[in-house]
Chains A and B, each alone.
Chain A
Amino acid sequence: MNKYSDKIKSVLTDLGLSLLSIIVALIVGTLFIYLTDKSPLDAYSALYIGAFGSFRAIVNTLWRSTPLILTGLAVALPFRAGLFNIGAEGQLLMGGFTAGIVGFYFTSLPTIIHLPFAIIAGMFVAGLWGGLPGVLKAKLDVHEVIATIMLNYIAMALTINYGINLFKETGRPATPRIMKSAAMFNFNNMNKYPFLKDLPLSDLFSQPAIRLHLNFFLAVIAAVILWYLLFKTTLGYELRAVGFNPDGAEYGGIKASKSIITVMFISGAVAGLAGVGEVLGTHFSFMQGMDAGYGFTGIAVALIGQTHPIGVILGGLLFGALAQGGLEMQFSGIPSEIVMLIQALVIFFVAALQVFKVYLAKRKAKGGVE
């Protein structure tokens, strides 16, 4: 009984700290809006309307949150094992690039084979890209932060600079368009399918500029799988034990090195799925700029979600809403970079408030002894 009430208390504390960071970030954000001679109230109402003001806005908020949920998960999972994955950006690029190549290279596969093949290939390559720093950490004691930073830039050179240049003849900074058979299902096309068109919302989904596609659901499924893995399996228990106390875990018979490599591979694959979805669902080719810093925003998403998979979904939705609403703000003459500033502020405040939480816990512990 007591155990449950403690658990609820800790979840509420986490939720409270996250909400507090967001509110403080929005308040500090008003200072920047003042610099533009616009009213913060107008700016934030534009932000809100842009993100939630209509059916289309809400659906596109879900669309924008998709890669953020995935990169957020890719940061959150290793965080639980005491590892900091700054490499989601590079993993996303490797996954997206691979999916883009598989997507256009095979010309005569049916969707049922082509699409899963492209998704799995992208996730696998991204998994290897994430697993490499895991191996370096586990076997050679190379710090994963530095390794993943370096791999980000190597991935950029390989995919954006070198990879795209291989296809100069397309005339745009992108790989050739993927085949229809590799494209993810888009909700805008509901009306074209015999059963789906009879579903209640199909008319609403058919209005122009609806961008939501299959990958949002894959992202939610990924979050649920990772939640299960983290809290209901032995592997998850080991991961959390390693994160809590690596030496203690080793002493208790857990092979930390194996856990590190596994978690980094999974994390890379999940970040890769973000890139896969952008290529197969949003842009239909791997293009320059498609990563849009999702790998780094993912860090903010993971933190605001308190590195809990379900929290990460909520964090991803929040940042997706900021991104979608930021467009509307841009239309009313306020630079959408305000959104980036708010994201950065959220990171500062979550980090700072986390310290507050540790301080409270310490004081409580001390109080118990004295």
Chain B
Amino acid sequence: METLTKIFSLSLILASFRFATPLILAALGGIFSERSGVVNIALEGMMLFGAFAAVYGSASTGNPWIGVLYSMIAGLSFAAILALVCVTFKANQIVVATGINIFASGITIFLLQVLFGVKGTSPMVNRLPAFRIFDVRFNPITYIALILVPVAWFILFKTHWGLRIRSVGEHPAAADTLGINVNKLRFISVLISGVLAGLAGAHLSIGDGSAFVREMSAGRGFIALAAMIFGKWHPFGAFGAAMLFGFAEAVAVRVDFAFIPSELISAIPYVLTLVVLAGFFGKSTPPAASGEPYYKGEK
């Protein structure tokens, strides 16, 4: 009983929002990219590089908002590589994204040494201001993430532009015959995913904390991918999934269970995603052309 009240305490639910923030942002990014037909498993690396760039921006200017800007540019730059190599030059999306993830791990630790002269954790920098609701700190990025959920939904499902993005992800050849520039739309969608993943990184380093720690994304880019799939490539669905996963993380951090070891709670998002993909909760189908490069003039 005591455990139950702890689980459903207000502060825990509020904490879930905090844990869910990077998942919401990166999952929205993943939705844009995959809806346009590009699998983005580099969200993890973009988030990590964004987290580093945010700390660097805050450290070099003293202004954490510049850090936020840097994080988005960092995510954007990795996304530009992914888009250039995979959309323009049609290389294998999974391969290149894996390269980006490895590169992100290496470059952040490398730059920690070159720019800050340390190996594991950066010096403390100015963090974003926080707004307290009860005893939980909310930084502005959490609010941004919550606002972006309906915005993303509106763009993808209520505008012509969103319809085009979805059409190039479902049937690029058909979209092409209607005069839609498939690769341009994919390029832009991947860039959007990079900006959002970078912003998610800023939340980790200067929103929730005030320093960069090596490998601090710790798989959240992949949990975001899981949230995207769990939410069936829909912004509101992904938001729900991200909240569920954020809640699981909050519970794992705060509550001791006698019956489930807390180390295993961290695996719940991954197990749930497999269960969903296997079709136990109704079929979860990715956009039809997701992962396929588009060659003009081929069926």
Query: Which residue of chain A is the closest to B261 with respect to CB atoms?
Result: A162
Determine whether B140 belongs to the interface, using a CB cutoff of 8 Å to chain A.
no
**Residue contact B263 to A157, C-beta cutoff 8 Å:** yes
Q: How far, in whole Å, are A224 and B175 apart by their CA atoms in the complex? A: 47
Determine whether A361 belongs to the interface, using a CB cutoff of 8 Å to chain B.
no
Choose among A150, A165, A351 the residue that contacts B270 (Cβ–Cβ < 8 A): A150
- Could you say which residues of chain A place their CB within 8 Å of the CB of B286? 143
Q: Shortest distance in angstroms between B179's beta carbon and chain A's nearest beta carbon?
A: 25
**Residue contact B263 to A149, C-beta cutoff 8 Å:** no
Determine whether B105 belongs to the interface, using a CB cutoff of 8 Å to chain A.
yes
Secondary structure at the A interface, as helix, strand, loop or mixed, is: helix
Query: Which residue of chain A is the closest to B284 with respect to CB atoms?
Result: A142
**Residue contact A35 to B114, C-beta cutoff 8 Å:** yes
**Residue contact A153 to B279, C-beta cutoff 8 Å:** no
Choose among A140, A147, A161, A341 the residue that contacts B110 (Cβ–Cβ < 8 A): A341
Determine whether A338 belongs to the interface, using a CB cutoff of 8 Å to chain B.
yes
Q: Shortest distance in angstroms between B160's beta carbon and chain A's nearest beta carbon?
A: 30
Contact with B along A206-245 (1 / 0, CB 8 A): 0000000000000000000000000000000000000000
Q: Shortest distance in angstroms between B18's beta carbon and chain A's nearest beta carbon?
A: 21
Chain A residues 315-370 with CB under 8 Å of chain B are: 335, 337-341, 343-345, 347-348, 350-352, 354-355, 358
Report if A344-B41 is in contact (Cβ < 8 Å); known contacts: A149-B225, A165-B261. Answer: no
**Residue contact B219 to A153, C-beta cutoff 8 Å:** yes
Determine whether B130 belongs to the interface, using a CB cutoff of 8 Å to chain A.
no
- Could you say which residues of chain A place their CB within 8 Å of the CB of B98? 86, 296, 299, 347
**Residue contact A345 to B103, C-beta cutoff 8 Å:** yes
Interface segment, one of B88-96, B195-203, B204-212:
B88-96
Contact residues on A (Cβ < 8 Å of other chain), bracket? 35 or more
Choose among A140, A145, A158, A338 the residue that contacts B278 (Cβ–Cβ < 8 A): A140
Instruction: Give 12 new A-B contacts, CB below 8 A, not counting A162-B261, A339-B106, A347-B102.
Output: A149-B41, A150-B270, A157-B264, A157-B270, A296-B101, A296-B102, A338-B106, A343-B102, A343-B106, A348-B85, A355-B89, A355-B91
Binding site for A on B (CB under 8 A): 39, 41, 81, 85, 89-92, 94-96, 98-103, 105-107, 109-110, 113-114, 219, 222-223, 225-226, 229, 261, 263-264, 266-267, 270-271, 273-274, 277-279, 286
Binding site for B on A (CB under 8 A): 32, 35-36, 84, 86, 136, 140, 142-143, 145-147, 149-151, 153-154, 156-158, 161-162, 165, 293, 296-297, 299-300, 303, 335, 337-341, 343-345, 347-348, 350-352, 354-355, 358
A-B residue pairs in contact (CB < 8 Å), sample of 12 = A35-B114, A140-B278, A143-B286, A145-B41, A150-B273, A153-B223, A157-B263, A337-B109, A337-B110, A344-B99, A355-B89, A355-B91
